């Protein structure tokens, strides 16, 4: 049996790695192929292409890169035609993956959607169009089910794989020693994202916020985990230009997060990872002016970070677009320092949000569903 994956960004690579390992544990004979990242590759997925050179964000940026993306789509379609997988598994990355899903459907390849498009937040009609293409769906958040169920989709929630994946590699005290974190300092992380564009749009504001914070709270040190999809050299250039001392880290990221006291983080999966590790964040998000203007017309939600969405309340501060300033970042981070009442309140809410993710073992349950579905269609 052959199963093809398609994941186009770092968070999908993490999910794909976990599912691939779980599938291999259940059935070592299954061949795994597709489009993904280095983590999926190390888990046994034979890649057609690595997504790192194709990852872009924002409506305008996708339009600018359409030619390259369509060439990738064409190449993956030819790959499916040659490899003849028994099933295509989409992992998030909706705008590209659902074009690929249509190609798969035209070739008679069943489609399994893991982390379907967030139709609950905007473009609710696409739940119906997706339901006509994919044979089965699994969501990683319970609030995503109703809109797909209403569209007639076969969809379930079996827990969130982050519960298993997000584990510190060492105890907190050991980690603080490993990363040489001074005992008398507050440790603040900068987590600017896993895409080049996120680095360019948000890291300058983080560095300015850090500079302001240092002026008011000199007993503060800064660390930055560098994603393997971005340029360390570019980050070093930006840090040098800002004149702020920042320690870069490329390993044991979860231990780093668990050992830190607070973080300024780009909105995304990493904010949920931080919640699972007990790390409170100030959540930031910026797009280019064109993409933001388009998005503002289409998306209407009260919160955009996952912990806030899970509890349907704004307990962890989110700064969007023009709200992303050095002053706001510093002011909100100070409230998360050890000993602050607001920090205690946020930590309690983060624990409640994490409880919404379900029990451990989600990746194994997803792998079981994928294998069962692939076998069912192969038998037809």
Q: What is the CATH number of the domain that holds 63?
A: 3.40.50.2000
Between 313 and 54, where is the model more confident?
313
Nearest to 209 by CA among 316, 320, 328: 328
pLDDT at 57: 46
pLDDT over threshold 70, residue 353:
yes
Q: What is the mean pLDDT of the chain?
A: 90
pLDDT band at 55 (very low <50, low <70, confident <90, very high): low
Domain assignment of residue 17, yes or no: yes
Residues 252-282: pLDDT tens digits?
Answer: 999 999 999 999 999 988 999 999 999 999 9
Is 132 in the same domain as 45? yes
The tokens describing 68, both together, are 């390259």
Q: Is residue 251 domain-shared with residue 369, that is, in the same domain?
A: no
Q: What's the mean pLDDT in 192-202?
A: 87
pTM of the model: 0.76
Is residue 286 located within the same domain as residue 366?
no
Q: How many CB atoms lie within 10 A of CB 105?
A: 16
For residue 13, the enclosing domain spans 2-161+361-378
For residue 296, pLDDT beyond 70: no
Tokens 């599938």 label which residue? 23
Cα separation, 204 vs 331, in Å, equals 17
Reported confidence tier of residue 288, pLDDT bands at 50, 70, 90: low
Average pLDDT over residues 349-361: 95
Residue 37 and residue 42: Cα distance in Å, rounded?
Answer: 9
- Please state, in angstroms and rounded to a whole number, the distance separating the CA atoms of residues 189 and 202: 14
Percentage of residues in the chain having pLDDT higher than 90:
74
Shared domain for 339 and 279, answered yes or no, is yes
Which of 59-68, 175-184, 222-231, 305-314 is modeled with the greatest confidence?
Answer: 175-184
Shared domain for 277 and 194, answered yes or no, is yes
* Average pLDDT estimate for 23-50: 96
The answer to whether residues 101 and 182 belong to one domain is no
Residue 58 is encoded by which pair of tokens?
């924002």
Q: What pLDDT is attached to residue 122?
A: 59
pLDDT-derived band at 52, boundaries 50, 70, 90: confident
Tell me: do 176 and 150 sit in the same domain: no
Higher pLDDT, 239 or 165: 239
Same domain, 25 and 85: yes
Q: What's the whole-number mean pLDDT along residues 163-192?
A: 95
Quick one: what percent of the chain has pLDDT higher than 70? 91
Residue 87 tokens read as: 């099933």
* Per-residue pLDDT tens digits for 122-176: 566 789 999 999 999 999 998 899 999 999 999 999 999 889 889 999 999 999 9
Pick the range with the lowest mean pLDDT from 79-88, 180-189, 254-263, 311-320: 311-320
Q: How far apart are CA 253 and CA 267, in angstroms?
A: 17
What angle do the packed helices 232-242 and 196-216 form, to 10 degrees? Answer: 30
For residues 360 and 366, is the Cβ–Cβ distance under 8 A?
Answer: no
194 has a pLDDT exceeding 90: no
User: Do 299 and 187 belong to one domain?
Assistant: yes
Same domain as 144, residue 205: no
Q: Does residue 315 share a domain with residue 257? A: yes
Residue 56 has pLDDT above 50, yes or no: no
Question: Does 207 share its domain with 188?
Answer: yes
- Mean pLDDT of the 354-374 span: 95
- Burial tier of 258 (Cβ tally within 10 Å: 0-12, 13-18, 19+): buried
Domain assignment present for 167: no
Q: What integer pLDDT is reported at residue 291 of this predicted model?
A: 58
Q: How many domains does the chain have?
A: 2
Tell me: the pLDDT tens digits for 70-115? 889 999 999 999 999 999 999 998 888 999 999 999 999 999 999 9
42 and 19 in contact (C-beta within 8 Å)?
no
C-alpha to C-alpha distance for 107 and 203, rounded to whole angstroms:
43
For 52, residues 6+ apart whose C-beta sits below 8 A from its C-beta are 37, 38, 229
């Amino acid at each position: 049996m052959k199963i093809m994956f398609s994941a186009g960004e770092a968070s999908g690579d993490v999910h794909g790695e976990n599912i691939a390992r779980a599938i291999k544990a259940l059935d070592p004979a299954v061949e795994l192929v597709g489009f993904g990242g280095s983590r999926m590759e190390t888990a046994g997925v034979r890649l057609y292409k690595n997504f790192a050179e194709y990852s872009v964000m924002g409506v305008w940026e996708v339009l600018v890169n359409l030619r390259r993306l369509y060439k990738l789509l064409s190449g993956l379609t030819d790959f499916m035609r040659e490899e003849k997988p028994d099933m295509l598994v989409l992992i998030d990355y909706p705008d590209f993956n659902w074009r690929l899903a249509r190609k798969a459907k035209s070739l008679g390849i069943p489609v399994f959607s893991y982390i379907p498009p967030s139709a609950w937040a905007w473009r609710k009609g696409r739940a119906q169009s997706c339901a006509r293409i994919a044979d089965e769906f699994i969501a990683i958040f319970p609030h995503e089910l109703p809109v797909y169920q209403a569209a007639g989709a076969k969809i379930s929630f079996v827990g969130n794989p982050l519960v298993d994946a997000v584990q510190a590699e060492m105890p907190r005290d050991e980690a603080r020693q490993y990363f040489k974190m001074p005992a008398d300092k507050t440790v603040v992380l900068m987590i600017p994202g896993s895409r080049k564009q996120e680095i360019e749009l948000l890291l300058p504001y983080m560095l300015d916020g850090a500079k302001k914070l240092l002026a008011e709270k000199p007993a503060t040190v800064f660390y930055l985990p560098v994603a393997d999809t971005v340029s360390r050299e570019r980050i070093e250039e930006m840090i040098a230009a800002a004149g702020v001392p920042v320690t870069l880290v490329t390993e044991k990221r979860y231990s780093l997060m668990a050992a830190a006291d607070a973080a300024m983080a780009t909105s995304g999966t990493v904010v949920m990872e931080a919640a699972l590790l007990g790390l409170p964040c100030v959540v930031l998000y910026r797009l280019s002016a064109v993409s933001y203007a388009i998005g503002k017309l289409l998306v209407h939600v009260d919160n955009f970070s996952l912990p806030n969405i899970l509890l349907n309340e704004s307990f962890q501060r989110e700064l969007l677009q023009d709200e992303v300033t050095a002053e706001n970042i510093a002011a909100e981070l100070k409230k998360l320092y050890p000993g602050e009442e607001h920090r205690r309140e946020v930590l309690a809410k983060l624990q409640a949000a994490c409880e919404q993710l379900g029990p451990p073992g989600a990746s194994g349950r997803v792998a079981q569903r994928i294998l069962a579905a692939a076998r069912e269609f192969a038998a037809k």
